Amino acid sequence: MKTILRKAIINLKKGELIAFPTETVYGLGADAKNNEAINKIFSIKKRPRINPLICHFYNADKVKKEVIFNKNARILVSKFWPGPLTIILKKRKNSSISNLVTNGLDTLACRVPSNKIALYLLKKFNGVIAAPSANLSSKLTSTHKKHVLKSFGKNVLIIDGGPSKYGLESTVIDLTKKNPIIVRPGAIESERIKKILPNLKTMKLNNKKIISPGQLNKHYSPNIPLRINVKRIKIGEVLLNFGKNNLKSKIKQLNLSYSADLNEAANNLFRYLHILDNKRFKGIAVAPTTNKGIGKAINDRLKRASFNE
């Protein structure tokens, strides 16, 4: 393990990419202060330039060097960092983060992960790692090393940290507006955040418009069609089930959680979608899943996965 971590640090310093585990999902990381390195992320992922990246820091003090903290930030950070929460704050005028990370925006999405390997890298690299999820743009998220390999082959150094703990991306909150607003539901339930920030708002998923930079509706998509909230399975479809019901596929089915446990479902979501995403099948039919707690993030991912252009 030590050798690959050493290689990863060298890569970061040289402006090369690395894929590394976080507690949410695998990230595709590069030196956030190096324009060329950031360009490589956008091109290998085929990611639209307007979709800004999240920066990963070793601790909150390092974050404060790049962005201006406010009261809500202090409250949230003391409770949820290190961990699966990303906060958007105003960038400092003298910030040394590459402008390509945010496509020239004056805000920056910041997160301090809790995964031990991620923290080790951040400490030894002694810098900031910009990292989107380690998948091709608009495709399924990677929660295992083998998913990253499917996206990028051997072109990127991949650090294997086993299956991701949460299996869903971080919750992203914009703290630059009058009220704090969740721009992407994720691994931390909005109910937990609302308890300490009662004026918390949530951005609605809009079918027509792009609702925030990079919040493209079509996202997290398998290569075959996906339908949600199904009542009946069509011929040729495989089934992604949830809880106990009478749904059945003649071909193949997986159950996110037989006991309708949402944390278990979140954890299985992308792993099972990767398994069911096979050109031999006509499509993936997904059973209704509970839309509360972490279920909101699960439904957000499924809804976007079901969009067709």
Chain positions contacting ligand TXA, by CB under 6 A = 22, 24-25, 27, 51-54, 84, 86, 88, 102, 105, 107-109, 111, 131-133, 169-170, 172, 183-184, 212-215
Could you tell me the smallest distance in angstroms from the CB atom of residue 29 to Mg ion? 13
Query: Which of the listed partners (Mg ion, ligand TXA, none) does 287 bind, with a CB threshold of 5 to 8 Å by partner kind?
Result: none
Question: Contact, 97 vs 32, CB < 8 A?
Answer: yes
Choice from 133, 138, 221, 289 touching Mg ion (CB under 5 A): 133
Q: How far is the CB of 300 from ligand TXA (least distance, A)?
A: 11
Give the DSSP H or E segment for 303: helix 295-306
Tokens 């707690």 found at: 293
Residue 143 interacts with Mg ion (CB under 5 A): yes or no = no
Taking the complex as a whole, the smallest distance from the CB of residue 185 to ligand TXA amounts, in Å, to 11
> Considering only 26-34, 129-137, 225-233, 254-262, which stretch makes contact with Mg ion by CB under 5 A?
129-137
Shortest distance in whole angstroms from residue 24 CB to ligand TXA = 3
Cis bond leading into 82, ω under 30°? Answer: yes
239 binding partner (options ligand TXA, Mg ion, none; Cβ < 5 to 8 Å by kind): none
Could you say which of Mg ion, ligand TXA, none residue 185 binds, taking C-beta under 5 to 8 angstroms by partner kind? none
The CA-atom distances, in angstroms, between 79 and each of 76, 177, 178, 289 are: 5, 21, 21, 28
The dihedral formed by the CA atoms of 200, 204, 205 and 210, expressed in degrees to the nearest 10? -90
- Least Å distance, CB 131 to Mg ion, is 10
In the chain, DSSP finds a helix count (H) and a strand count (E) of 9, 14
User: What angle in degrees, to the nearest 10, is found between the helix axes of 145-152 and 262-276?
Assistant: 40
Q: Which residue's CB is nearer to Mg ion, number 170 or number 176?
A: 170
| Cβ atoms within 10 Å of 170's Cβ, excluding its own | 26
Residues near Mg ion (CB under 5 A) are 133
